[in-house]
Structure 1
Amino acid sequence: MKPADVSLAVLVAVIWGLAFVASRLALDELPPALMTALRFSIAAVPCLFVRKPKVSWPLLIAISFTLFLGQFLAQAYGIAHGVPVGLTSVIVQSQALFTIAFAVIAFREWPTRVQTLGIAIAAAGLLLICTTVGYDFSVGAFAVLMVSPVSFAVGNLLLRRAKGAPMFDLFAWLCLTSAIPLFALALVSDGPAPTWHALTHMSLTALLCMLALGGISTSIAYWLWGRLLRDYRAAQVVPFALLVPFVGSAASSIVFSEKFGPLRLAGMLTVVGGIAVMLLAKRPRVVPVIVE
């Protein structure tokens, strides 16, 4: 990769890591559904200037509801209900484990031995983290948070079917498709009056966090990431995502004085280590389907 593109990949990882902190600050004032709806509304502004890509509505909705709505709503709910920001950033990146697992089912892309080792390591790390659940946050919050990497993984695989679509245009319309049902969910779950009050009494801090989440972390960062994936092999780009949990955990420890016990820290490091093994391994082999 060119040095400039390496810098861009690192920048995107830093932006995504800091986004977890911005989400936590915004959730101090906004309910999860409303915060996520605002995030995607801001990121959907380019839809005023770009046409819908040549992707069918069913596919667009399916990608939107998994890659964006499901992933980020589950994240917001988990953080709002006490799951530490640093831990959340690690759990979300476990999507690599689920992506490989679902690829076996959907495309018969069997993992290599090294990737299988990485899956085992990451799974062991998740089990370690599970043993710490229930002390400082509920089992229910952790269960909902686990929807995030699963949705992320499904969205990754569905995104393959939108091959050839302009990345910036596609992500803008994915955001729009997520924002509309999320606003409806906020009105139903929180009520019209509380929703309106939260919108009209937002502090400057929350507003800046939302602008950063929608305009920078979602719109610009995803566009840059898409460009990198377009210009380079995935094996060259995807490993930079390993920086995200480290940035998220470091920023959370500074901003919120977040600390981790030995068992949870060991679990987090084990998960990241397993993901590193998976991402740095060679591509899985595809077993052809034999039609009799």
Structure 2
Amino acid sequence: MALKHVVLAVLVAVVWGINFVAIDLGLRDTPPLVLVALRFALVAVPLIFFVRRPAVPWRTIVGVGLFVSAGQFGLLFTAMHLGLPAGLAAVVLQCQMIFTLVVAAVALRERPTGRQIAGATIGFAGLGMVALGRLEGAEGAAALLPLLICVAAGLSWGIGNVVARSAGPSNGFGMVVWSAAVVPAPILALSLLLDGPAAVGEALTTIGWPTVLSLAYTVVLASLFGYTVWYSLLGRYPAALVAPFALLAPPVGLLSAAIVLGERPNPLELGGSALLVGGVALGQLTRRARGIRPAGLADAPDERISSPHVPEHPRPPQLRAGGHR
């Protein structure tokens, strides 16, 4: 990769890692589901009027919107709202790789490679260590609920990966924008049901600077900037060259949460986080780069990759033998 593209790939990973701190900031004065609805409304509008709809069935766009965006982020934001530290959330969410393998094996009959199975096993062991670490904390068993909700977010992301995988190649940026439009209405309706009209109305009419700054970061930097650069890199280079850079996001998430929020994971949580990220890495680095793709293919990026931190990333991992992740 050219040096400038390496710098861009690292920058995107750093942006995605810090994104969890930005989410934590927004959750300080806005209910989680309202924050999700606002985020994706701003991703979709006004871009949806200028970005061509991806050439996939509507059911795929709706499926990606419901599972990759609404389900994943609704559950993730709720988990963090209930007390899951931002740094650990950045790591635990990577369990999506395990669920993607399982769901694809059942739904698409795709057989994971031995290395992918080994990576999933290591990742599952790491997740168990994180759970034990949470049990050792001051809150004890109560701390497991937000952890389990974050695991459910990973499951939703994994299902969404398979939904997108079944559709084959499509315009990635268009999928991000159009699938985002699916999110606000059902998430806001759910917030009205769970939080009540009064709480939702107050949140929408008294938006504070923490929420404004959080939305500015998550919409402009994490979503629009991050994915535009990521898709461009995937269009220029093989996925096996680009994908490993996304593995920088969990460590960045842990470090930025420690610096900004003062989070201090205990030894079991740190050890489990290392195992989980290591398992994702083992399952992901299964394919050797086979040369550079022509720059002219930048508008048709490799669909065989799912960024491990990209919350609204519609691209699922390649699950066939010898494929990526």
Q: TM-score, normalised by structure 2?
A: 0.82
Specify which of 237, 240, 244 is matched with residue 242 of structure 2: 237
- CA positional deviation for 1:193: 2.5
Asked if 2 retains the 8 angstrom alpha-carbon contact of 1:42 and 1:211, the reply is no
Asked if 2 retains the 8 angstrom alpha-carbon contact of 1:23 and 1:209, the reply is yes
- CA positional deviation for 1:114: 2.6
Structure 1: distance between partners of 2:277 and 2:79: 19
User: Does the alignment pair 1:157 with 2:157?
Assistant: no
Moved over 4 A (4+): 283-287
Deviates more, 1:156-165 or 1:76-85: 156-165
- CA positional deviation for 1:53: 2.7
- CA positional deviation for 1:234: 2.2
**Counterpart for residue 132 of structure 1:** 133
- CA positional deviation for 1:207: 0.5
Letter in 2 for 1:206: T
- CA positional deviation for 1:158: 1.7
Asked if 2 retains the 8 angstrom alpha-carbon contact of 1:107 and 1:286, the reply is no
**Counterpart for residue 99 of structure 1:** 100
- Superposition map of 1:74-93 within 5 A: 74-93=75-94
Query: What residue ranges of structure 2 are gaps of 5+ in the alignment?
Result: 288-317
User: Does the alignment pair 1:11 with 2:8?
Assistant: no
Counting aligned pairs with the same residue, the percent is 36
Structure 2: distance between partners of 1:119 and 1:34: 33
Deviates more, 1:98-107 or 1:151-160: 98-107
Asked if 2 retains the 8 angstrom alpha-carbon contact of 1:38 and 1:214, the reply is no
Q: Secondary structure at the match of 1:202?
A: coil
Asked if 1 retains the 8 angstrom alpha-carbon contact of 2:122 and 2:278, the reply is yes
Asked if 2 retains the 8 angstrom alpha-carbon contact of 1:167 and 1:223, the reply is no
Superposed CA offset, 1:37-91 (max 9, x none): 1110111121132243332222211111111111111110110000111110001
User: Does the alignment pair 1:21 with 2:26?
Assistant: no
**Counterpart for residue 217 of structure 1:** 222
**Counterpart for residue 34 of structure 1:** 34
Q: Are residues 39 and 123 of structure 1, via their aligned partners in 2, closer, same or farther at CA, if it must alter by over 3 Å?
A: same
- CA positional deviation for 1:271: 0.8
- Superposition map of 1:124-273 within 5 A: 124-134=125-135, 135=137, 136=139, 137-273=142-278
Deviates more, 1:29-38 or 1:223-232: 223-232
Deviates more, 1:34-43 or 1:5-14: 5-14
Superposed CA offset, 1:100-155 (max 9, x none): 23332233333333322222211111111121334345322222111111111121
Q: Secondary structure at the match of 1:83?
A: coil
Deviates more, 1:259-268 or 1:274-283: 274-283
Structure 2: distance between partners of 1:112 and 1:125: 20
Deviates more, 1:1-10 or 1:72-81: 1-10
Letter in 2 for 1:26: G
Q: Which has the higher helix share?
A: 1
Asked if 1 retains the 8 angstrom alpha-carbon contact of 2:67 and 2:159, the reply is yes
Q: Are residues 6 and 162 of structure 1, via their aligned partners in 2, closer, same or farther at CA, if it must alter by over 3 Å?
A: farther
Asked if 2 retains the 8 angstrom alpha-carbon contact of 1:122 and 1:271, the reply is yes
Q: Are residues 202 and 12 of structure 1, via their aligned partners in 2, closer, same or farther at CA, if it must alter by over 3 Å?
A: same
Deviates more, 1:275-284 or 1:249-258: 275-284
**Counterpart for residue 67 of structure 2:** 66
- CA positional deviation for 1:184: 1.8
Structure 2: distance between partners of 1:232 and 1:102: 28
Letter in 2 for 1:223: T
The count of residues paired between Structure 1 and Structure 2 equals: 287
Structure 2: distance between partners of 1:152 and 1:230: 23
Q: Are residues 166 and 116 of structure 1, via their aligned partners in 2, closer, same or farther at CA, if it must alter by over 3 Å?
A: closer
Letter in 1 for 2:15: I
Instruction: Give the superposed CA RMSD.
Output: 2.0
| Structure with larger RCO (C-alpha < 8 A, sep 6+) | 1
Q: Are residues 285 and 157 of structure 1, via their aligned partners in 2, closer, same or farther at CA, if it must alter by over 3 Å?
A: closer
